[in-house]
Chain A
Amino acid sequence: MRGFRTTRRDFIKTAGALTAVGALPVSMVELAFADSQNNFTFAYISDAHIQQIKGAKFVRNWDRGLIRAVAETNLLQPKPDFVVFGGDLAQLGKKEELDHGLEMLSKLNYKFHCVMGEHDYYYDLGKYWSELFGPHYYSWDHKGVHFVTLNSILTSDEWTFNRWPTDEQRMLEMAGLDNPNGSPFMVGEKQRAWLRKDLEKVKRNTPVVVFSHSPIQKIYKGWNFWTDDAEEVQALLRPFPDATVVYGHVHQIQYNQIRNITFSSVMATAWPWPYPQSYAQAESHLPKLTVQMNRADPFFERDATGWQFINMESGRVAMNYNLYNNTDRTVAFNRKTGHPEDSVYQAADRRIAPQIHY
């Protein structure tokens, strides 16, 4: 939290001029917008995994995560222009879970956009979700930026329609990690055709920001940190020098640059991946994990979860991670180096050494 205060203070101080992105000097930033009034912020909450136990009883821990993110987002000064919810509002796609999740989300004092997650989708193929949140993919323009929301968690028709005796089983098979019965995510041909058409009318120098649930890149197939037709989607974004993809699903901080496209993940409000077999001394609803993290129970249930507020500065994303009981982090695009950088951990001598797996 400490880092966040500094970031916020700097941010307020320099609002409209330059975002606080750590040690990045002003001179290094070429403002794509001549008019600084086009700079704005939005907030991003993701992966709440609201889970019904029985009747009106829901997993308390996941509820608290979403409630806290919403309450803190409502306190932001200056106010964000809108909020995005990045998918996996529900755990098993049930109406009760989506309803309960919306009940908490609706406390937001801002307009919000929703992204489809696989946990929202594979029970009824997004039917009830649509009633609550509208179309599965769409685009809109805001202050000179073209925003696109994709449903990136689709998969083959055969797997979706012909393989499972019940909707519940289909949902559970897609929710499992390292599950040989699972299937890789994809955006799909129909949606790619729509995206091609949608982007045709967008000027090439317009910043384009895509919101998806899965990463539109290939990271780890077993956990579906993966989109099978990622290259085809990336090709559609190729004409735009300022292209950004913001994704959920991974419950951890990731960033990457592939040619013109900057990738940034967001944190979950529910739990982090991976995680130790912890939350000791109480019943845990944490999904079964195939790889344990070698660390002790951190005691704070909000540990390694969070939400983010995002500076849309000169057409690029500066991602500020608000991390509970932890030091906040900022990952911002650096025009000089041409890729996103963590304001704290970018220097090799300041990186945290990787953990050793035994």
Chain B
Amino acid sequence: MKRFLYTMVLVAGFVCAAGLAAEKPPGPSPPLGLPPVPYPKENPQTPEKIALGEKLFNDTRFSTTGEVSCATCHAVEKAFTDSPLSVSEGIDKLTGTRNAPTVINAVYFETMFWDGRSPSLEDQSLHPFTNPVEMGLADHQPILDIVRTDPDYVKRFKSVFGKTGDAITMTEVTQAIAAFERTQVAGNSPFDRYYFAGEANALSEQQKRGFDLFVNQGRCVSCHVVEQTQALFTDNRFHNVGVGINDIQGEVPELAGEFLKAQATASEVNVKVLTDKRTSELGRFAVTRGFDDLGSFKTPTLRNIAVTAPYMHDGSLAKLRDVMVHYNNGGVTKEGDPVNDFLSGGIRPLNLTDEQIDDLVTFMEALTSPEYAHLAGKTGSN
């Protein structure tokens, strides 16, 4: 249903655009391999709003220590991650439980955070400010105090939203941040040139073998989706692939029981999953309380994966090769370890050889966009 509504919004967008005498859809045309960016009706893009969003994104004053901004964990020079950290560091070097996902192409996700507990970029940006292990604010008031009085912000909010003083709320703040994030799209990778533009030489022979494994024996494509005209490399769904939950198998009844007995509020879930490692490993179950979601996390995109090590929701796998081995073992990192009871029905041993695993890793390296190609080899991804 959600998907349907989303499609309706998109269709409505196209209809409007068509009505304006064949004008282009808003924003630049998407890079090769990506669909048009979905812009919400209530938050149209403007250059001034994007610039305001970028300033907010980089402002460290929105944390208790004055040292942490969005960009701390989503640094442009690290492909919008905090690589090579496995889990993010917030104020006072406090650590959370999850690996910072890149902002690049996040706009295409239908839900935000590893467990999808947030429905939009706007909503997502609210939560790290007040998480005790991220920016640590008690509430959003300190942010509003700054943007309502800082002369540069006053000027910008007036110009972008036509609002001043108390009329400026977190709605405007998060809309600006989201507008900036919606500009961070990157396609046009060697794979895109090979697959969507017919450049036969864009991939090496090894990468072509890797792509064949990606689609066939490796079964990767079933979740990391590639379509005929675009490739988001995600199915926007949640799967238990045997990471994290494997470490708390004996405790699942106790941890899950707590959620089944009493429903937690959204903000309680938000704090709990980032401050308690064991609860974090319940994954999307903490949001939905559905058995299907036990230990399951969102399928991340694979675009620019080679420059965003380490991997998985907890950053527990340092190299792409480790990830391939984990999947090849059928959802366990060390061969022979016990498989968790709730493992997704799609995960099973793949019988890949060492050479095939190398081929797959090489294919992953073909998914890096030119903007981030200079980071290749800097994060120890392979």
Q: What is the interface of chain A, defined by CB distance below 8 A to chain B?
A: 1-2, 4-5, 8, 60-61, 64, 67-68, 70-72, 74-75, 77, 281-282, 299-303, 322, 324-325
Contact = CB atoms under 8 A, between A and B. Distances in A.
Given A75-B252, A299-B222, A301-B346, A2 B290 contact: yes
Contacts of A2: 288, 290
A68 B292 CA distance: 10
Q: Which DSSP category, helix, strand, loop or mixed, fits chain B's interface? A: loop
Nearest to B261: A77
A301 B261 contact: no
B341 A68 contact: yes
Given A68-B342, A300-B346, A303-B345, A324 B253 contact: no
Interface hub of A67, A71, A302 (most chain B Cβ within 10 A): A71
Contacts of A281: 216-217, 219
A61 B260 contact: no
B253 A75 contact: yes
Q: List the 8 closest A-B pairs by CB distance, nearest first.
A: A302-B345, A1-B292, A71-B341, A300-B345, A301-B345, A1-B290, A77-B260, A299-B222
Interface in B201-258: 216-217, 219, 222, 252-253, 256-257
A316 B50 CA distance: 61
B344 interface: yes
Nearest to B291: A72
Given A2-B290, A281-B216, A324 B260 contact: no
B344 A300 contact: yes
A46 B292 CA distance: 19
A8 B342 CA distance: 19
A61 B348 contact: yes
Given A74-B253, A77-B260, A77-B261, A4 B290 contact: yes
B293 interface: yes
B272 interface: no
B351 to A, nearest CB: 8
A8 B261 CA distance: 11
Contacts of A70: 341
Interface of B: 216-217, 219, 222, 252-253, 256-257, 260-261, 288-293, 330, 339, 341-346, 348-349, 351
A303 B345 CA distance: 8
Contacts of A301: 345-346, 348
Contact of A71 (B219, B260, B342, B351): B342
Contacts of B222: 299
Contacts of B292: 1, 324-325
A83 B321 CA distance: 43
B271 to A, nearest CB: 22
Contact of A75 (B257, B346, B351): B257
B215 to A, nearest CB: 10
A281 B330 CA distance: 14
19 contacts: A1-B291, A1-B293, A2-B290, A4-B291, A64-B339, A70-B341, A71-B252, A71-B342, A72-B291, A75-B253, A75-B256, A75-B257, A75-B260, A75-B291, A77-B260, A282-B351, A299-B346, A322-B291, A325-B345
Nearest to A77: B260
Contacts of B290: 1-2, 4-5
Interface hub of A67, A75, A303 (most chain B Cβ within 10 A): A75
A61 B348 CA distance: 9
Nearest to A322: B291
A5 B289 contact: yes
A300 B288 CA distance: 20
A184 to B, nearest CB: 34
Contact of B348 (A8, A60, A75, A77): A60
Contacts of B341: 67-68, 70-72
A6 to B, nearest CB: 10
Contacts of A68: 341-343
A206 to B, nearest CB: 33
A50 to B, nearest CB: 16
Contacts of A67: 341
Nearest to A323: B292
A325 B288 CA distance: 14
A178 B330 CA distance: 35
B352 to A, nearest CB: 12
B140 to A, nearest CB: 30
Contacts of B260: 75, 77
A325 B344 CA distance: 9
A71 B290 CA distance: 13
Contacts of A8: 289
A303 B342 CA distance: 14
A282 to B, nearest CB: 7
A302 B296 CA distance: 15
B84 to A, nearest CB: 33
Contacts of B256: 75
